A = this chain, B = another copy of it.
Amino acid sequence: MSSDKEVTIYDIAKRLNISPATVSRGLQDHPAISKKTKKRISEMVDEMGYRSNHFARNLRQKQTNTIGVIVHELNSSFITSVLAGIEKVSTEAGYDLIITHSSESVKKEAANAKNLFHKRVDGLIASLAFDTNGLDHFKPFVQKGVPVIFFDRVEQDGDSTVVVIDNVQCGYMATNHLIEQGCKRIANITSSLNRNVYAQRHKGYQDALFDHGLPFDKNLLIIDNLSEQGAISSALQVLKLKPLPDGIFITNDFVAAVCMKVFKEHGLRIPEDIAIVGFNNDAISKLVEPALTTINYSGMDMGMIAARNLIGHLEGVSNIHHTNTIVIRSELIIRKSSLKGG
């Protein structure tokens, strides 16, 4: 309603009988302005309730001090901690964040990218959607020289900088652990093999089988779409296998939790009948019963590193075009869902 006129540096200048340029410089703590003048300006700013106009500033400077973020979903503790990491670093460096999510759809991902591009973010940090195939919608950024860093879900196109974990090794660790527990017939429930993370985890799974002389049975590979419904049908698909597998590597904790529920409803005991290993160490992995063995890696670190590299590049202290892949540490957390020995 009310909304008195906005006060500008011109209003302040007039009241102080100085020029707007001086006010502007005073506000930026420019060395050419005397302390006395700065103090008078800052007092008048408070008195008149001035707020700077980002638009005028950005228009002039062609720089927004804003970083765009695109994630595939918000509702996992992993993503939340990545965001926390990005936020910590960028806030300290004086950058704002615009966070968007694609709901696992390329279409929305592209729309978000376009939007952030028009908002003229100084840089972009993104994790790809489930069905993203190709990086065309990020081309405009590359063309205008706006730096882009991908994390976790990335596209292996060689050109862009990525922050990831060693998914092959993780898949190997998980599968190897199941083998050590005595599993002979290990299934792999994972998601679209077009997504790097799932393809690589699956490769690790295969490698581990191979190294232990176990055959790879393609009937034991089940592709899931990460939804609750999808997880249920993946579980049912497992139940139809004859003989049943004695271990499953499921590359997503939520899916693993849903599967466990279905298995238990069908009278299977975990881990006795089927040992299970999940992925991501999501909050849910500790709450299901039995607690879920899973792969843990620090979202916070991943976020911080991505942000730090991006900002380093923006400020000219480093250059992301010299770095191609940054690998974060990851580990297997063993809980009851996979401990056959007892």
Binding site for B on A (CB under 8 A): 1-3, 6, 51-56, 58-59, 62, 73-77, 79-80, 83-84, 96-101, 103, 115, 117-120, 143-145, 228, 254, 257-258, 261, 264, 283-284, 286-289, 321
Contact = CB atoms under 8 A, between A and B. Distances in A.
Given A75-B76, A283-B254, A59 B51 contact: no
Contact of A75 (B53, B74, B143): B74
A58 B77 CA distance: 36
A143 to B, nearest CB: 7
A110 to B, nearest CB: 14
Given A59-B59, A80-B75, A54 B288 contact: no
Contacts of A144: 2-3
Given A2-B144, A261-B287, 10 more contacts: A2-B143, A3-B145, A53-B59, A55-B56, A75-B76, A75-B283, A254-B283, A257-B287, A287-B287, A287-B288
Nearest to A117: B51
Contact of A58 (B52, B55, B97): B55
A310 to B, nearest CB: 15
Interface-centre pick from A54, A74, A288 (highest chain B CB count, 10 A): A74
Contacts of A321: 1
A342 B171 CA distance: 42
Contact of A77 (B75, B97, B98, B289): B75
Given A74-B74, A143-B2, A288-B288, A118 B52 contact: yes
Contacts of A120: 53-55
A306 B162 CA distance: 38
Contacts of A73: 80
A69 to B, nearest CB: 10
A118 B51 contact: yes
A256 to B, nearest CB: 10
Contacts of A62: 6
Contacts of A75: 74-77, 79-80, 283
Closest 6 CB pairs of A and B: A3-B145, A55-B59, A75-B80, A55-B58, A55-B55, A74-B74
Given A118-B52, A287-B258, A288-B287, A99 B96 contact: no
Contacts of A83: 74, 101
